[in-house]
Chain A
Amino acid sequence: MVETKEQLKNLSKFEEAALACAQCGQCRVANWPSKGIFYSCPVYKVNRSFEPYNARGKNLIMKGLFWGHLQLSQDISDLIFQCTLCGLCEEICFNSQNENFNFTLHNIMDHVNTFEALRADLVEAGFPVESQVPMNKAMVELLNPYEQDNKAKLNWTKELDFKVKDANTEDAETLYFVGCTSALTPQIKRVAIATAKIFNKLGVDFSVFGEHEVCCGSVGMRTGDRKSFGEVAEQNAKLFKERGTKRIVTSCAGCYRTFKKDYGENLEGIEILHSVEFLNNLINEKGVELKNLDIKTTYHDPCHIGRHMGLYEEPRELLGKISNLTEMKTNRAGAMCCGAGGGVKKGFPELSMEMARGRVKEAGETGAEYLVSTCPFCWRNLSDAIEELNSNLKMVDLVELLLDALS
């Protein structure tokens, strides 16, 4: 039998963080109104199930693995993967890296990274979530996790009345990295269309890779398939280098987080921006006038640009100019997750939908007409929940409203 500790190649890099939990359980159900936290785990909030469905339980399993009391197993995998890696638990952990606590002993806990590392060890030990395997295989073989012909990634451009530069052959100041979800999901291609139209209106010199756009690898990274992630990351880094890419703008929160955080020094020298950040800067710099659409909106913070990257105010600044923005009870660092991330939508669709339903209900309580996000994957899950709940809310990406406000 292989020693468990030898199997923890990835998690061992975070051993100190993985063992640092004091097991207080604040990551389960804490309510902290002055910090905008109302429940600290979206998964536990909806299922109130056993301990490993919140961070403390996962932390104790990690201790059991390091101490040799537990072995990596499919049972552990099934528990560890039922988490969206949203990072809300980090906001309520006094041993973690956040600014909420004054009385902390140390700040060495690192929930999202340790959980991802354990996922990688589980996959490498032969315990993946089965339904996620074809997705990661397709990511490498077809260059997208949706198991589609990558040629379809150019389809959305047919709906434009202007030509978009081909990043494979033409130079441009900005690479618009569309992302697989916007490019390949018929209902969500409007995000890519709106983004391109805004770029065109504002005179942004941009290009797209189209059928040669390689998945950023986020799904592989989140679901523990580091080998697949490594392969696409290498391809992307090579492609960007060959084409002399200086700036990447993406309208996908997942791609943004992955390029900016997970690629590390591989993308050194390339400016990476989320479209909302890029457009907010551009509109302010150029003094572009925006029409107030006189609609009531509420904003859902995607975990990948919010808690993981700290982009909270840029979308609000834009939305505040073009609509009447009302905040949900949980917002910014305390925002509830939409339920789609971390491979949960693929691996555990009902759990994912339960979280989305909760978030849509929360949005509905604001009285808003539009639920706005800046992540195509959040868009998809929340939109599914709106439909299922027969809610009056309209799901939109911020760029869709921005396009209207520029017209």
Chain B
Amino acid sequence: MNEIQNVYEKLENIVGTKYVSDSEPVCYSYSMNCDYTLQGIPDIVVKPKTPEEISEILKVANEYNTKIIPRGNGADLTGGAKPIGDGGIVLDVTMMNKILDIDEKNRIVTVEVGISWSELCEQLSRIGVGYYTGSTGPASGFSATIGGGLSNNTVGGGGAAMYGAVTEQCVGLEVVLPTGEIMYTGAKANSFRDKPFTRFGLGADYTGIFLGDVGLHGIKTKASLNIYHLPEYAGYATYQIKKTKEKIPAERAAEVMTKWQHQRLALHDFFYYSPARVSGLTSRGIAKGLVNAKVRGGTLFYTAVGDTQQQLDHDIERIEKIAEEAEFIKLGETVEEGNIGKWFYEEDGRWQWSNDSWMGGNLFGMGGCVKSPTYQLPDYRRTYDEWVKRNFPKMMEMGGGGGADFVAFGVYPSYIDVAGGAAVISTIKERKAQIELWKDFLITQIKELGAVHYWMGEIIGRSLVDSGALSEEYYNFMITIKKALDPKGILSPGKFYLTDKY
């Protein structure tokens, strides 16, 4: 019997036959995330039901020196939840999907991390006066899990302009460390406290080392998040932004977005769509409202919320005054007249605005979402255009055209997420060249824009190292922490090359 068979038998004893598989097609179906060509086929997939089972699984992985990759829905775009190279165990946490506690007094929900953002928000909406998580996960929140959202520090599912990234809402975790110990972080680390309410107070922010960690430091099993009343009142508007002699639309939008962020306004969301994006949407018949409104140039929409109509009206007046002073053209109030802000908020656009950019078919997406200071938005436009110009011949060699573009949206308190990347028309035969091109795009972002990426999956983590962006001291610090927590380097190995440096 070889080692992996021994591992399989041990896992079977831990979780039961039904929840472990080494079937070839099952393992194959865990070899990719939402990214199209990064692929690594695990030997085993396991679906534990409790933190104790996860603890036992990690002990087996340590015993046999087998790599283990935690996974939620696998909805990230840069290889965050799949093996780097073949082999190892994918640990799928989606059996753990219960809401464990809703503390209405403190407005905190505690969940198992395998529940999706859409299911959590749906269930919260039916509790008491109706709640939600404020920032409602990534744009893939229909299916993305809470655990994945926290591991990737996600934004994009609506509410980010008011509540920030989802990690801002996290007040504590239950984590299984790579060596198998189960522990709480945040206030609940005080063993005399029954309910979590803050992340701080018992030393440093140890919750933080598991947030945005792409599964490097431990396996999250439970998370406690702030929740908020569903807003009573909401308002929206969408603006058209044309190019002027002096400024491109991205520059004009950035100025207004910055002003919005510098004032205390009840902005729930604001999104800037580039002219190319608007053109793409209208030419393909997407966003029919924009087509009807014959919009050219960029667009900017906002959604604002309030507890009273008076409060909302007051803030909307201030929000719109800033847009009017910038001479933005306001579109009509209805979705049909181009008000995609209304569509975004009322028709669940928050979880589908980016659907078309996830590709599929013969389009290969090169995810490169970044968090950026708002003022820097025009630089992204220029850099992307230059990169496409430089690489267009390569794209044509791969079988078609391509481009690079973004949507930018506000994140509390004062930055934006430049969501997008590049894409090329291609096929699986071009895999190697596609990945090289993708890496070139990422390194361009890192070097020319000082980009701080959203995801830290395989390709981005490695691009950060390869580009020389991480200082020696910082990188050594990362290695030291990783090695202290995961001495055998079994958990998510290969990301940032950390375990290669032991």
A57 to B92, CA, bound (A): 13
B116 within 8 A of A: yes
Set of chain A residues within 8 Å of B347, measured between Cβ atoms: 34, 102
Contact between B359 and A22, CB atoms less than 8 A apart: yes
Partner-contacting stretch, out of B28-36, B380-388, B411-419, B480-488: B28-36
Contact between A105 and B355, CB atoms less than 8 A apart: yes
Set of chain A residues within 8 Å of B45, measured between Cβ atoms: 50-51
Set of chain A residues within 8 Å of B119, measured between Cβ atoms: 29, 31, 39
Chain B 72-89 residues near chain A, CB threshold 8 A: 73-75
Contact between B360 and A95, CB atoms less than 8 A apart: yes
Set of chain B residues within 8 Å of A109, measured between Cβ atoms: 360
Residue of B nearest to A104 (CB): B356
Contact between A32 and B118, CB atoms less than 8 A apart: yes
Q: Which one of B25, B286, B349 lies within 8 Å of A64 (CB-CB)?
A: B25
Tally of chain B residues near chain A (CB < 8 A): 57
Contact between A69 and B74, CB atoms less than 8 A apart: no
Least Cβ distance of B459 to chain A in Å? 16
Chain B 86-140 residues near chain A, CB threshold 8 A: 92, 94-95, 97, 116, 118-119, 121-122, 125, 140
Set of chain B residues within 8 Å of A51, measured between Cβ atoms: 26, 29-30, 45, 92
A392 within 8 A of B: no
Chain A 19-65 residues near chain B, CB threshold 8 A: 19-35, 38-39, 48-52, 56-58, 60-61, 63-64
Q: Which one of B116, B284, B354, B360 lies within 8 Å of A21 (CB-CB)?
A: B360
Contact between A102 and B286, CB atoms less than 8 A apart: yes
Partner-contacting stretch, out of A73-81, A168-176, A272-280: A73-81
Tally of chain A residues near chain B (CB < 8 A): 50
Contact between B47 and A61, CB atoms less than 8 A apart: no
* Given A32-B142, A33-B122, A50 and B29 contact (CB-CB distance below 8 Å): yes
* Given A29-B119, A30-B142, A38-B122, A50 and B21 contact (CB-CB distance below 8 Å): yes
A108 within 8 A of B: yes
B201 within 8 A of A: no
Residues 69-98 of A, flagged 1 when their CB comes within 8 A of B and 0 if not, give 110010110010000000000001011000
B327 within 8 A of A: no
Contact between B32 and A70, CB atoms less than 8 A apart: no
Contact between B352 and A24, CB atoms less than 8 A apart: no
Contact between A92 and B142, CB atoms less than 8 A apart: yes
B195 within 8 A of A: no
Set of chain B residues within 8 Å of A317, measured between Cβ atoms: none
Chain B 3-38 residues near chain A, CB threshold 8 A: 18-19, 21, 23-26, 28-34, 36
Set of chain A residues within 8 Å of B348, measured between Cβ atoms: 32, 34-35
Instruction: List A residues at the B interface (Cβ < 8 Å).
Output: 16, 19-35, 38-39, 48-52, 56-58, 60-61, 63-64, 67, 69-70, 73, 75-76, 79, 92, 94-95, 101-106, 108-109
9 A-B pairs besides A33-B122, A48-B94 with CB distance below 8 A are A20-B360, A25-B143, A26-B143, A29-B119, A29-B143, A30-B118, A50-B21, A52-B29, A101-B355
